[in-house]
Amino acid sequence: MSKPRKVAILGSTGSIGRSALEVLKSHRGQFELACISCHQQLELFEKQCHEHRPKLAVVTDASNPQAQQWVSNAGSDAMRRACGTDELIRAILGPEIDIVVAAIVGVAGLETSLAAVESGKRLALANKESLVVAGELLLNIAKKSGAEIIPVDSEHSAIFQALQCKGQSESNTRQDDSQLNEQVEKIILTASGGPLRDWPLEELEKATIQDALAHPTWSMGRKITVDSATMMNKALEVIEAHWLFGLPAEQIQVVIHPQSVIHSMVEYRDGSVIAQLSPPDMKLPIQYALTYPARTTATSKRMDWSQSQSLSWYPVDPARYPALELGFEVARRGGTCGAVLNAANEAAVELFLQSKIRLTDIAKVCRSVLQHHDFATNPSLAELLRQDRWARDEVMRWNQSLC
């Protein structure tokens, strides 16, 4: 039997992080938990350390005095405690980690994703913002280092799986883009439509935080749940798919599929459509990103073929979801657009969650910030981060101008 692969789960206290811990628990022997990290929620983190016994536990928020205290509390166990993102990056670059599960939310996850690909490791990527902000950079580094980027996002995992039906290709990495593009007509990303799917259009601006957080099919962190209500999540996923699969915006389509059972599809040149189906449970794509190319027994819920079930889909109404078009625009323009859209959205979602703006303001302010930014075609990481800061400030200025 081969040696267990050493896994780091970044953002272990979050929705994806907790599911990833469960997957690892059901795969003892095949994987071992090398490292976990969190930013806040120290109580839960402490519990996770106790239950899952990682070799290293890092609290990334070094400014939190409680985190410093937590580090100095080191007990008699073999686990090492550390504080700060630098410590986490050092571990990612080192020999004690083989696979990085990137489950931090927002652009805060970019630095660690970059470290994982720089060191040529497998990156099981849930943090779509890394690709949205710096897709080109990340892929170029991965190409040089030989790092594998395996998607955890359910739609992209579905496409990654469905793409394995293409021709005689050895792998589905970006290296065979041209071969891929010849065979694929388009990819179809499914979207649940979120909790406000059936609301009258004129009521949308009245949606409260609770309304936006009441997702019908998925249980996820707050930021991505708000993104699902505006469909900014799908906009980010269009950009993510564009980078991950090397396809232009014109070959990406989005349809509403309320049951969240078809996770996405690939339509080939001959008209065949290959879809991946399973009940909505992130444990499955997380597991596949860890075990790929193998498939192992899963603890996730399975399809029940003895029961009747209807699957439906219909086109997206752009008037209801104006954010979606922004994703296509960014996938077409590239350059600094992804960093700006992502940052504007993160800042706007935060304002919405503080009851300072309406849900419907999110797409409006993002569009305005995107239109006014200082576009550059081939930005460096420093330039992307500068644009990220500018876009956040711009959202704040926009909000203050309303007050």
Residue from the set 21, 35, 56, 60 that interacts with ligand NAD by CB under 6 A: 60
Cα dihedral sign, 99-104-107-109: negative
Please give the torsion angle defined by the CA atoms of residues 323, 329, 335 and 337, in that order, rounded to the nearest 10 degrees.
Answer: -20
Residue from the set 7, 15, 212, 324 that interacts with ligand NAD by CB under 6 A: 15
Judged by CB under 6 A, which stretch of 98-106, 181-189, 191-199, 309-317 contacts ligand NAD? Answer: 98-106
Helices (runs of H) and strands (runs of E) counted in the chain: 16, 12
* Binding residues with ligand NAD: total (CB under 6 A): 27
Per-position x/- string for 337-376, each x denoting binding to ligand NAD as judged by CB under 6 A, each - no binding: ----------------------------------------
Listing DSSP states for 246-294 in one string gives: T--GGGEEEEE-TT--EEEEEEETTS-EEEEE--S-THHHHHHHHHTTS
**Based on CB atoms, which residue is closest to Mg ion, 15 or 154?**
154
| 3 state SS of 211 | helix
Give yes or no for a contact between 254 and 238, defined as CB atoms under 8 angstroms apart.
yes
Judged by CB under 6 A, which stretch of 124-132, 139-147, 171-179, 326-334 contacts ligand NAD? Answer: 124-132
36 is a contact residue toward ligand NAD (CB under 6 A): no
Within 134-173, which residues bind ligand NAD (CB under 6 A)? 153
16 is a contact residue toward ligand NAD (CB under 6 A): yes
| 3 state SS of 5 | strand
Cα dihedral sign, 121-122-128-131: positive
Residue from the set 153, 267, 346, 388 that interacts with Mg ion by CB under 5 A: 153
Residue from the set 126, 212, 265, 326 that interacts with ligand NAD by CB under 6 A: 126
129 is a contact residue toward Mg ion (CB under 5 A): no
| 3 state SS of 190 | strand
Judged by CB under 6 A, which stretch of 125-133, 137-145, 287-295, 350-358 contacts ligand NAD? Answer: 125-133
110 is a contact residue toward ligand NAD (CB under 6 A): no
How far is the C-alpha of 392 from the C-alpha of 296, rounded, in Å?
A: 43
Give yes or no for a contact between 12 and 104, defined as CB atoms under 8 angstroms apart.
no
Smallest distance, Mg ion to C-beta of residue 289, A: 13
Smallest distance, ligand NAD to C-beta of residue 270, A: 31
Residue from the set 26, 30, 40, 291 that interacts with ligand NAD by CB under 6 A: 40
Joined together, the tokens standing for residue 280 give: 């909505």
Smallest distance, ligand NAD to C-beta of residue 89, A: 11
48 is a contact residue toward ligand NAD (CB under 6 A): no
Burial level of 297, CB count in 10 A (0-12/13-18/19+)? exposed
Residue from the set 24, 49, 105, 141 that interacts with ligand NAD by CB under 6 A: 105
11 is a contact residue toward ligand NAD (CB under 6 A): yes
Residue from the set 100, 101, 207, 220 that interacts with ligand NAD by CB under 6 A: 220
How far is the C-alpha of 397 from the C-alpha of 390, rounded, in Å?
A: 10
SS (H, E, C) 111-144: HHHHHHHHCCCEEEECCHHHHHHHHHHHHHHHHH
> For 169-230, where are the alpha helices, taking DSSP H only?
177-183, 209-213, 222-230
Cα separation values, 57 from 81, 168, 391, Å: 5, 42, 33
Residue from the set 42, 62, 79, 108 that interacts with ligand NAD by CB under 6 A: 108
39 is a contact residue toward ligand NAD (CB under 6 A): yes
Smallest distance, ligand NAD to C-beta of residue 14, A: 2
128 is a contact residue toward ligand NAD (CB under 6 A): yes
The residues binding Mg ion (CB under 5 A) are 153-155
The residues binding ligand NAD (CB under 6 A) are 11-17, 38-41, 60, 103-105, 108, 126-129, 153, 218, 220-221, 223-224, 282
